[in-house]
Amino acid sequence: MSADAWPEGVARHALDSVDSTNAVAARLASSLSGPAWIVAAEQTAGRGRRGRPWSSRRGNFYGTHLLHPTEPREVVALRSFVAALALRDACVALTGLPEAFSLKWPNDVLLNGGKLAGILLESLGQGGRVQHLAIGIGVNLIAAPDAAEVEPGAVRPVSLLAETGVRVTPETFLEALAPAYARREESFTRLGFGPTREAWLSHAARLGEQIRARTGHELREGLFETVDAHGALVLKTGSGRVAIPAAEVFF
């Protein structure tokens, strides 16, 4: 597959204004037999992790990749790493600035240390089986939220335009992202999480440095040692190594 070829067998649904692309994906899921990208020019009820509002100004990228995975739920969840790598691939392809982009566990893409993009995985299924997976992606192409819109201590939001001077339309971004995701997905399904994990770690922000991770009301601090084979963050703390399966990470 060439770098700019739309992946074979993947549908595309381009909409104007929606509540959220993940919500649209949930409504369409049962009627779509194959993978699909659902993108919108505007979201009126965009969401980030833990139900937080996601600022959705026109000109930025809002999209969801809908899949029908067959693996166990814990394997399906590892696609947050697949999506993060694909996002970084697309950003590098469009800007030619590989050193500027890094990855923040578990699901953010950073540009010059600021938050450029976020990923939200949502699934539908029964009895522990995932029938449909929605990988929601938001990218600040031309505008970033105001600092007042993000929680205290969070990574500062940035936009691609302000940080690099490169203006990219949502349509152009999708043309780079869709094939990038298809390549990363093919590696993940064929080779397992190992190569994806290694690739992610090679671009990880603050690896080997002191960070803080909040799980619920508990705050842990330690050396960011690695991400384990299950996607958990591994911290080296004063009381030993700790594997954290889900957390908010602060630098």
What's the pLDDT tens digit per position in 7-59?
A: 999 999 999 999 999 999 999 999 999 999 999 999 998 766 555 666 678 99
- Which has the closest alpha carbon to 42: 158, 176, 138, 178? 138
Per-residue pLDDT, averaged over 187-202, amounts to: 98
Q: What CATH superfamily classification does 11-202 receive? A: Bira Bifunctional Protein; Domain 2 (3.30.930.10)
CATH class of 210-250: mainly beta
Most confident of 37-51, 138-152, 221-235: 221-235
147 Cβ contact list (under 8 Å, min separation 6): 156, 157
pLDDT of the residue at 251: 56
- Same topology between domain 11-202 and domain 210-250: no
Domain boundaries, the chain: 11-202, 210-250
Residues in the chain: 251
152 pLDDT higher than 80: no
Per-residue pLDDT, averaged over 111-115, amounts to: 97
Which has more confidence, 206 or 128? 206
pLDDT of the residue at 248: 76
